[in-house]
Amino acid sequence: MKLYLYALTATVLLATSQASHAQAFEDKFRQLNDDKFRSPNVYRTASGAPGHEYWQQEADYHIKVQLDDENQSITAQSTITYTNNSPDTLRYLWVQLDQNRFRKDSIGPQSDSTSKPERISFSRMESMMTQESFPAGYELTEISYDNGEPLSHYVNDTMLRLDLDEPLESSESVTFNINWAFNIIEADVLGGRGGYEYFEDDGNYLYEMAQWFPRMAAYYDVEGWQNKQFVGNGEFALEFGDYRVEITVPADHVVASTGVLQNPNEVLTSTQRQRLELARNSDEPVKIVTQEEALENEKEGTDDTKTWVFEADKVRDFAWASSRKFIWDAQGYKKNDTDVMAMSFYPEEGNPLWERYSTASIIHTIEHYNDYSFDYPYPVAISVNGPVGGMEYPMITFNGPRPYVDEESGEKYYSARTKYGLISVIIHEIGHIYFPMIVNTDERQWTWMDEGINTYLQFLAEQKWEKDYPSWRGEPRNITRYMASANQMPIMTNSESILQFGNNAYGKPATALNILRETIVGRELFDFAFREYAHRWKFKRPTPEDLFRTLEDASGVDLDWFWRGWFYSTDHVDISLDKVHLLTINTQDPEVEKAWQREQKEQEPTSLTTKRNADVNYKIHQQPHLADFYNENDEFTVTNADRNEYNELLKGLNEEQKAMLENGSNFYVLDFSNIGGLVMPILLDLHYEDGSKEHVRIPAEIWRRSPEQVSKLLIRDKTLTQVVIDPNWETADVDTTNNYWPARAVPSRIELFKRDDRKDSLMERYDEKLKSDDES
């Protein structure tokens, strides 16, 4: 018993001593309130909920816009009513001018760095040349008060400052007009989140209009005016409001838009209206505009126009799409407080993929996001196929994947990657209507709060589509290469400063939340806490602290160590199993203990000298009379004195203590190192001699006093034969080779190749026969 206690204590002290020599102690479990979080106040509470004096601004819009299909441009007029719900007096207002980002003198193009200029793709060259020559950006034709009087203003790149004649007091409103025009970019050339696509085969255009109108910048308690310039990555911080938008397009165009169509009798045929009504209660998508009708519509243009009128309440943005190429299908979905028309708009080029999967993916997303957050509150949810690969707005999303056409046969095909890419991007973008279009985070500051959270929910929804759905992000094993890489920054980095944008803002936070749900907190507790966050901040603007505090408040789990490691550092998970010590109880019985000591001695290797002296005729053999007591007895001989000491020991022990001496259990001490620096639970599979297996989960708090090295005692009656750390790959451990005891060989393959001895000289290349155009 004394031997066991001594050995265990020595092991733990050794680990602590090694850690202390490695570096000064860092408390990875200290509270974030000490150095990371803002102090709670009347606007945002310590629990993560909105405070009793929480406020946010409101911006209401009435817009009239005309699409010029001949010149790919728009002209528009807007009337904006801005309500100051803050306790502050505002002398000026800030407005976002996002189209200005495409001007060659804007901060985005000007701050783009160049790498490998000696090797540039044709598409990249086209983009650079177009950037230099394309007349992009807003032409502001009028800025005035609602009475027509000019409103003083100043354009600062992608931001517009409106200088008010009279300060806007708390609870007051101001109404003003902004009229403008701009040339629509070709999305595939200049990128961006909207633009047009030209179809050379039939000469038609498809427009996806986003960031198309001057939008009120956000003003809120944490940042004041969010007027950071639009560089490109950091998206938007906007205010909720009510919209009425009148969209004038060629009469043969079909329009998809944020909001509810107000004048269907004027822009839809009676057949289309009947089909829409049928779709509302259908079990499958109903074609409002069929493929045959769309193909017929493409054949001829028109000089006539129609004006589509849409209204949307309590939205933070507005987008639309227009084309004569659109096929349109729809299906209603009702459950609890959700009553929505799921609709898809796509050209014939998108089929057969889009008619099969788009609207089904919308409904699937709403079904499962409702489970994890709140019931979808809007009357419409739309997926549009066009030039934009994936982008989200209230009630409408733009999504890219299409089949390809085989040049020889003319047949359409699509890969599994394209199929699942379409389903995933629709889930992702429709999911964004929840986050950040309703839970209204500041994307200009924190991309991960919308992209990372939404990617997490996307992963949950994907895994409900079919077994082993090939999700790109969410599984811990998929983030390990990034976690171990050098060029990265903490998740809590401003959107424009992030390195490895996709991994940082999408993959890592999504994986972190999934690990919280599955490994740290548990599904039931975490789902309850996340739903609480979603309900608390529905139609409000949360910050990272509000998320962190709410998840702790509603789950009852202290997660400051997790936020610090995963969100505020670039540490990674790499837990190594260094040693396994086997200890058993010293019974103190000399008959038992000295026999055990002799057995250990006999298991030691025989020295080389002894082996080679095996045939030596030793002196003691030549003269037997030289042998005495010590030749017949060794250090393991039990003496009467040993027996007397043992008997005296037993007299001083009670029955419980005597039973302890007879305990035959195995005491295993496992030594662990935290190589990656990110503290995490230690998850173990224990394999035993009898073929059985046990799973053990050691909480992360084991590292609280020694974050570099710890030891853990396990008492078992069985004999341990193997230990595996993180057997299900659920912690994003970047190096699994040090997760095994005994150590395992790492399997790999040797790839043989045939050496190419062919000579490829300039002389040979010069004499090569020139191919004709047909041969090429």
pLDDT in tens, 686-705: 999 999 999 999 999 999 99
pLDDT at 597: 93
- Residue 567 corresponds to which amino acid? F
pLDDT at 5: 39
* pLDDT tens, residue by residue, 484-520: 998 899 999 999 889 999 999 999 999 999 999 999 9
| Angle formed by the axes of helices 590-602 and 640-651, nearest 10° | 130
* pLDDT tens, residue by residue, 216-255: 999 999 999 999 999 988 899 999 999 999 999 999 999 9
pLDDT band at 23 (very low <50, low <70, confident <90, very high): low
pLDDT at 518: 97
pLDDT band at 13 (very low <50, low <70, confident <90, very high): very low
pLDDT band at 542 (very low <50, low <70, confident <90, very high): very high
pLDDT at 128: 81
* pLDDT tens, residue by residue, 175-217: 999 999 999 999 888 888 999 999 999 999 999 999 999 999 9
Q: How many residues does the chain have?
A: 776
Q: How much of the chain, in percent, has pLDDT values that exceed 70?
A: 96
| Angle formed by the axes of helices 416-432 and 448-462, nearest 10° | 130
pLDDT at 415: 94
DSSP 621-685: HH-GGG--HHHH--TT---HHHHHHHHHHHHT--HHHHHHHT---EEEEEEEEESSB----EEEE
pLDDT band at 300 (very low <50, low <70, confident <90, very high): confident
Q: How far apart are CA 160 and CA 96, in angstroms?
A: 6
CB atoms within 10 A of CB 735: 15
Task: Tell whether omega for the bond before 87 is within 30 degrees of 0, i.e. cis.
Answer: no
pLDDT band at 16 (very low <50, low <70, confident <90, very high): very low
* pLDDT tens, residue by residue, 370-414: 999 999 999 999 999 999 999 999 999 999 999 999 888 889 999
Lowest-pLDDT choice from 34-48, 165-179, 452-466, 724-738: 34-48
Tokens matching residue 83: 């309500």
Q: Look at the block and give the residue holding tokens 């224990």.
A: 686
pLDDT band at 288 (very low <50, low <70, confident <90, very high): very high
Helices within 603-639 (DSSP H only)? 608-612, 619-622, 629-632
Pairing of strands 380-385, 396-399: parallel
Round to the nearest angstrom and report the end-to-end CA distance of the chain. 86
Q: How far apart are CA 404 and CA 605, in angstroms?
A: 70
Average pLDDT of the chain, as a whole number: 92
Asked whether residue 153 carries a pLDDT value surpassing 70, the answer given is: yes
Tokens matching residue 105: 């003198």
pLDDT at 604: 93
pLDDT at 170: 98
pLDDT at 12: 43
- Exposed (0-12), middle (13-18) or buried (19+): which is 661, by Cβ within 10 Å? middle
Around 335, how many Cα atoms within 13 Å sit in the side-chain half-sphere?
Answer: 12
* pLDDT tens, residue by residue, 304-327: 999 999 999 999 999 999 999 999
- If you average pLDDT over residues 414-419, what whole number do you get? 95
Q: Look at the block and give the residue holding tokens 């979808």.
A: 376
- The overall longest dimension of the chain from CA atoms, in Å, is 129
pLDDT band at 18 (very low <50, low <70, confident <90, very high): very low
Of the candidates 333, 423, 322, 338, which has an alpha carbon nearest to the alpha carbon of residue 374? 338
Given a contact cutoff of 8 angstroms between Cβ atoms, the answer to whether 732 and 565 are in contact is no
Given a contact cutoff of 8 angstroms between Cβ atoms, the answer to whether 248 and 309 are in contact is no
pLDDT at 758: 66
Q: How far apart are CA 482 and CA 636, in angstroms?
A: 57
* pLDDT tens, residue by residue, 80-107: 999 999 999 999 999 999 999 989 888 8
pLDDT at 20: 44
Given a contact cutoff of 8 angstroms between Cβ atoms, the answer to whether 345 and 382 are in contact is yes
- If you average pLDDT over residues 541-568, what whole number do you get? 97
pLDDT at 759: 67
Given a contact cutoff of 8 angstroms between Cβ atoms, the answer to whether 422 and 346 are in contact is no
pLDDT at 3: 34
Q: How far apart are CA 399 and CA 724, in angstroms?
A: 43
- How many Å is the Cα radius of gyration of the chain? 35
